Chains A and B, each alone.
Chain A
Amino acid sequence: MITRGVLADLNDVATRMTNTQRKMSTGKELTRPSDDPFAVGRAIGLRTELDGLTQYRTNTAEAQAWTEASDTALGTLTDIAHRGRELLVRGANGTASATDRKMIADEIDQLINSAKEDANAVQAGRALFSGTATGVRPYDMTSDTYHGDTGDVVRTIGPGVSVAVNVRASDVLGDGTDGKMINTLRDIAAHLRGGTTADQTALSTTDVTALDRSLDDLLTARAHIGAVSSRLSAADGRLADLEESSRGLLSKTEDADMAATLVDYSMQQSVYQSALRAGAGIVQASLLDFLR
Chain B
Amino acid sequence: MPISTFLGLQTSLRGLLAEQRSLDVTSHNIANANTEGYSRQEATLQTADPLALPPVGNLGSGVDVAGYKRIRDSFLDLQYRTQAMQVGAGTTRADGLDQVELRLAEPGDNGIAARLNSFWGAWANLANQPESGAARQGLIEEARTLSSSINSLDAGMKTVADQAGDELATLTGSGGELQQMGRELAGLNGAIRDAQTVGGQPNDLLDRRDLLLDKLAGLAQVSVADNGSGSIRVTLGGAASPLVDGSNLTWPAPAMTSPGGQIGALTDLSSSTGTIASYRGDLATFAQALTTQVNAVYNPASGTDFFAYDAATATLSLSPAVTASSLRAGTGAAADNSAARALSELRGATGGPDDLYSRLVTRIGTEVADARRSALNATALSNSIQDRRQSAAGVSLDEEMTSLIRFQRGYQAAARAMSTTDEMLDTLINRTGRVGL
Q: Chain A: residues with CB nearer than 8 A to chain B?
A: 1, 4-5, 8, 28, 30-38, 40-41, 43-45, 47-49, 51-52, 55, 58-59, 62, 124-126, 131-135, 149, 151, 153-156, 159-160, 162, 254, 286-288, 291
Contact = CB atoms under 8 A, between A and B. Distances in A.
A156 B124 CA distance: 8
18 contacts: A4-B387, A28-B107, A31-B107, A33-B364, A34-B368, A37-B363, A41-B361, A44-B357, A45-B354, A48-B347, A48-B358, A135-B333, A151-B332, A151-B336, A154-B338, A156-B341, A287-B398, A291-B405
A33 B104 CA distance: 9
B341 A55 contact: no
B131 to A, nearest CB: 6
Nearest to A254: B107
Contacts of A124: 129
Nearest to B384: A5
Given A44-B113, A287-B402, A125 B107 contact: no
Interface in B355-409: 357-359, 361-366, 368-369, 372, 383, 386-387, 390-391, 394, 397-398, 401-402, 405
A135 B359 contact: no
B116 interface: yes
Contacts of B271: none
B173 interface: no
A55 B345 CA distance: 11
Contacts of A48: 113, 116-117, 347-348, 354, 358
Interface string B168-212: 000000000000000000000000000000000000000000000
B121 interface: yes
Contacts of B120: 51-52, 55
Contacts of B104: 33
Contact of A132 (B113, B127, B336): B336
B335 interface: yes
B24 interface: no
Contact of A37 (B116, B345, B362): B362
A55 B383 CA distance: 54
A44 B361 contact: yes
B358 A45 contact: yes
A33 B394 contact: no
B167 interface: no
Given A41-B359, A43-B107, A132-B335, A154 B131 contact: no
B397 A4 contact: no
Closest 10 CB pairs of A and B: A33-B365, A37-B365, A41-B362, A34-B368, A132-B335, A132-B333, A34-B369, A37-B366, A134-B335, A51-B117
A291 B403 CA distance: 13
A289 B106 CA distance: 55
A44 B387 contact: no
**Which of A40, A125, A126, A153: most chain B Cβ within 10 A?**
A40
Contacts of A1: 387, 390-391, 394
Contacts of B401: 286-288, 291
A248 to B, nearest CB: 17
